[in-house]
Amino acid sequence: MVLKRTVFKDFRNIQNADISFSDGMNIICGRNAQGKTNVLEGIYVFACGKSFRKTKFKDMVRFGSDSCSMRVVFTDSNRENDMKINISESKRETVLNNIKITKLADFVGHFRAVLFFPEHLSIVKSEPSVRRTFLDNAISQIKPQYMVAINEYAKLVTEKNSLLKNCEQYFDFENMFSVLSERMAKYSGYITSERIKYTKLLFDKVSNFMTDMTNGKEQISHLFVSNASKDGDANEDASLLEKYYYEEMMNGKSRELSAGTSIYGSHRDDIDIMLGGVSARLFASQGQQRSIALAMKLAEGSICVEQTGDSPVFLLDDVLSELDRERKDYILSKIEDRQVIITSCDESDFSGIDNVNKMYCSNGIYTQG
């Protein structure tokens, strides 16, 4: 997959930009707060259907404007594609190859990207939601219906939390509790099952990358943690998981009521990453944790190629300056035959690298360099 061109109008601090990319390494250089990350955000929206900044679509409209548009032109193994998003106060319009798309599930899964930014380097020790988001973004791009499920599930969690918090206001609490639990268990079964399957694939590859990166010294393993795992066994069968989740929810009603929040369901899933048989979160050094993060991102890229037949576009936001020489060289060597778009404040990060398409960003204005 090759991103050929992006066009932004009144997107964040970018009034107008029409940027061409080469199929190898592309570097966006510029001082802080100029609009480098904004462009990666605008590109990644086409992969995941939402901002990685967890802001709303309307926040992307340039201050003082009432609408904004984003466009990507890319080739996959079949054809050239053109996707657009137009955002205004009242509506959002998504277009794929000149056809208006109304369902998010029909929009995601066409353009695929792996995003890597400095916060990801601490994925091993971050809170569980960061690891869940990693899985959700990766799986959604391969299975768009998964994205629909996580969106629907998030609404159910909000609904059940409100029920649990204000239980005395609901005369039919018991009934609502079981209806919501049943629906949450159904989605949780599917979501956790997909996550378990993906995590297994992921860690097979992470393990290979780690062996490669550390000359076989670091042995990595993982444990998928969910409150539907029985006796530590992460069963990946969706209907069994659904059954376990439902049982947990119904048996744990009083716990959920006293907590005033939903305790059971896939919103509590996590991955326990282990290095040399012990928890990497607790015992691995910062360098080892960073190597795992790097391996996870590379593994995400490999799975995407295997499952879709197309290489995703790698988007690296300021991440190279955070890595030491060895890890920097490693990641660059692993993605040298892929399309990569890298932002950086420091051009010297790329000295000695040939065939680079360089561009500069200053105050939201892009110039090809």
Binding flag, residue 37, ligand ATP (CB under 6 A): yes
Binding flag, residue 181, Mg ion (CB under 5 A): no
36 vs 112, which CB is nearer to Mg ion? 36
d(CA 21, CA 74): 10
CA atoms within 13 A on the CB side of 291: 26
- Output the smallest distance, CB 38 to ligand ATP, in A: 4
What are the beta bridge partners of residue 92?
Answer: 87
| Cβ proximity of 337 and 298 under 8 Å | no
Binding flag, residue 189, ligand ATP (CB under 6 A): no
Binding flag, residue 63, ligand ATP (CB under 6 A): yes
Q: Considering just the CA atoms, what is the radius of gyration of the chain in Å?
A: 22
- The residues in 334-353 that bind ligand ATP, with binding defined as CB under 6 A, are 345
Eight-class DSSP state of 319? -
List the one residue out of 23, 5, 6 whose CA is nearest residue 335. 23
Binding flag, residue 344, Mg ion (CB under 5 A): no
d(CA 267, CA 244): 15
Report the partner that residue 30 touches, choosing among ligand ATP, Mg ion, none (CB closer than 5 to 8 A by kind): ligand ATP
Binding flag, residue 13, ligand ATP (CB under 6 A): yes
Site string for Mg ion, 37-76 (x = CB under 5 A): x---------------------------------------
d(CA 200, CA 198): 5
Exactly one of 62, 84, 131, 195 binds ligand ATP (CB under 6 A); which one?
A: 62
Choices 58-66, 86-94, 224-232, 320-328 (CB under 6 A): range interacting with ligand ATP? 58-66
| Cβ proximity of 353 and 336 under 8 Å | no
Exactly one of 36, 120, 195, 205 binds ligand ATP (CB under 6 A); which one?
A: 36
Q: Is 43 left (phi over 0), alpha (psi -120 to 50) or beta?
A: alpha
Residues making contact with Mg ion (CB under 5 A): 36-37
Residues making contact with ligand ATP (CB under 6 A): 12-13, 30, 32-38, 59, 61-63, 318, 345
